């Protein structure tokens, strides 16, 4: 779904490819030293190799798009849709008729296990841009000239549209930009400004402080993003400072704040006490405490997820002269979740 699917840079000649080093330094990226047995040639990898050979290096955003919206996944979703429509039978047969070794049905079966994470994550791709002596250069994905069935990161030889999203006073040397997210925030901001409402964004993220967050997960473990594409989920943290800029002042923004702060402000402690008081089952009480720990512990989800809100200016300005009797603060500070509420 990336707006900048193609960078406008055509295929590179062999000399140019050899001259552009793979210098991306993120700890989750391919080191170039992985043994062949750890880098299986998946159908998606073959597809990407053919694509790169035909059109030249691709952006990270296009790589994410290919991996996350692979046709096999769409076929898998179709089968799941039909399975749900016919009663969710506990036993069914999935048969692939045709030549080959069953790789298509294997890809479809992976969708059955990955569907939950695919559906709950909006498929928005990022562009990676790095500061070089020649200026900002976008990071592309190319074929490793030393290993024909392996991918590597390279730098674009010239400017690409993604660089237009870099702030002139940017101090980081690696930046991840997401034009799609900007388009969504602009649309939300315009609608909220015109017709009211609110938007609440909850995701992994930072406030313009992190650099290399592009990573892969397979079996709930970190996975090299260039190894066996199509077998792992790809993700990157949200840059909430970018979302704030893209709101363009049309609406007010709050946050980001950490999940444990947001949930505490929303009264999760009170809610937990009520549920514990109502339960006499030790196993249920244990589950409640474990769930609370997962959500609130800073070493778990408590500080990994952030909350960010967009509200009409009138929502805050309209209460400028209203006071909370107990706190003597402007009404604007009492937006649920973003300020501690007084529970009576």
pLDDT, residue 192, reads 92
Position 177 scores a pLDDT of 94
Q: Can the peptide bond before residue 256 be classed as cis, meaning omega within 30 degrees of 0?
A: yes
Note the pLDDT of residue 326.
Answer: 37
Let me know the angle formed at the C-alpha of 191 by 187 and 197, rounded to the nearest 5 degrees. Answer: 125
Residue 307: alpha-carbon gap to chain centroid: 14
Q: Give the total residue count for the chain.
A: 344
**Does residue 89 or residue 303 have the better pLDDT?**
303
Best-predicted range by mean pLDDT (40-54, 106-120, 161-175, 306-320): 161-175
Quickly state the pLDDT bin for 67 (edges 50, 70, 90).
Answer: confident
Higher-pLDDT residue of 280, 122: 280
- The pLDDT score that the predictor gives to residue 91 is 72
Would you state the structure tokens that stand for residue 112, as one six-digit string? 């059955």
Between residues 307 and 117, the one the model is more confident about: 307
Question: Which residues lie across from 308 on neighbouring strands?
Answer: 201
Q: 74: closest CA among 108, 121, 110?
A: 108
| Rounded mean pLDDT, 151-174 | 94
pLDDT at residue 104 is higher than 60: yes
Question: What confidence score (pLDDT) does residue 230 get?
Answer: 83
pLDDT at 79: 67
Antiparallel, parallel or unpaired: β 199-206 and 58-59:
unpaired
As a whole number, mean pLDDT of residues 149-166 equals 94
Backbone region of residue 153 per phi and psi (left: phi > 0; alpha: psi in -120 to 50; beta: other values): beta
Distance CA(343)–CA(266), nearest Å, equals: 10
pLDDT of residue 31: 42
Which of 163-167, 171-175, 289-293, 322-326 shows the lowest mean pLDDT across its residues?
Answer: 322-326
Q: What are 227-271's pLDDT values in tens digits?
A: 999 888 889 999 999 999 999 999 999 999 999 999 998 989 998
Q: Cα-atom radius of gyration of the chain, to the nearest Å?
A: 24
Q: Among 81-95, 112-126, 207-221, which is the least confidently predicted range?
A: 112-126
| Burial (Cβ within 10 Å: 0-12, 13-18, ≥19) of residue 155 | buried
Q: What percent of the chain has pLDDT over 90?
A: 51
Boundaries of every domain in the chain: 127-176
**pLDDT at site 83:** 67
Give the pLDDT mean for 22-38. Answer: 44
In the prediction, which pLDDT does 85 show? 61
Is the bond into 44 cis (omega within 30 degrees of 0)? Answer: no
Task: Report the pLDDT value the prediction gives residue 2, as an integer from 0 to 100.
Answer: 26
More confident residue, 248 or 11: 248
Does residue 107 have a pLDDT over 80?
A: no
Q: What is the mean pLDDT of the chain?
A: 78
Of the segments 64-73, 117-126, 152-161, 225-234, which one has the largest average pLDDT value?
152-161
Greater model confidence, 337 or 334: 337
The neighbour count for residue 175, using CB atoms within 10 Å, is: 25
pLDDT value at position 47? 87
| Cβ 30 vs Cβ 139: under 8 Å | no
Please give the Cα distance from 170 to 167 (Å, whole number). Answer: 5
Q: How far apart are CA 310 and CA 199, in angstroms?
A: 5
Give the model's pLDDT for residue 171. 95
For residue 65, the model assigns a pLDDT of: 83
């Amino acid at each position: 779904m990336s707006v900048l699917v193609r960078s406008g840079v055509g295929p590179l000649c062999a000399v140019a490819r050899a001259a552009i080093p793979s210098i991306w330094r993120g700890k989750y990226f391919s080191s170039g030293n992985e043994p062949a047995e750890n880098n299986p040639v998946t159908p998606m990898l073959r597809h990407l190799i053919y694509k790169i050979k035909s059109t030249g290096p691709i952006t990270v955003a296009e790589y994410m798009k290919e991996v996350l919206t692979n046709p096999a996944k769409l076929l898998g979703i179709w089968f799941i849709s039909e399975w749900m429509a016919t009663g969710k039978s506990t036993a069914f047969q999935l048969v692939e008729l045709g030549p080959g070794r069953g790789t298509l049905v294997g890809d479809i079966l992976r969708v059955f296990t990955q569907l939950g994470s695919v559906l709950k994550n909006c498929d928005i791709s990022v562009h990676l841009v790095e500061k070089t002596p020649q200026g900002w250069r976008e990071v592309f994905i190319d074929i490793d000239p030393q290993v024909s069935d392996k991918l590597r990161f390279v730098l674009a030889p010239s400017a690409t549209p993604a660089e237009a999203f870099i702030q002139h006073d940017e101090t980081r040397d690696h930046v991840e930009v997401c034009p799609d997210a900007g388009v969504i925030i602009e649309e939300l901001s315009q609608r909220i400004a015109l017709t009211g409402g609110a938007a609440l964004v909850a995701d992994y993220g930072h406030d313009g402080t992190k650099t290399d967050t592009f990573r892969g997960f397979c079996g709930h473990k970190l996975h090299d993003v260039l190894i066996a594409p199509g077998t792992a989920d790809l993700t990157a943290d949200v840059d909430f400072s970018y979302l704030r800029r893209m709101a363009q002042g049309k609406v007010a923004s709050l946050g980001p704040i950490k999940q444990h702060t947001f949930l505490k402000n929303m009264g999760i402690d009170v809610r937990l006490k009520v549920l514990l008081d109502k339960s006499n089952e030790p196993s249920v009480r244990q589950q409640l405490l474990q769930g609370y720990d997962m959500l609130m512990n800073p070493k778990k989800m408590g500080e990994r997820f952030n909350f960010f809100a967009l509200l009409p200016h009138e929502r805050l300005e309209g209460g400028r002269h209203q006071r909370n009797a107990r706190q003597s603060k402007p009404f604007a500070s009492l937006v649920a979740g973003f300020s501690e509420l007084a529970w009576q």
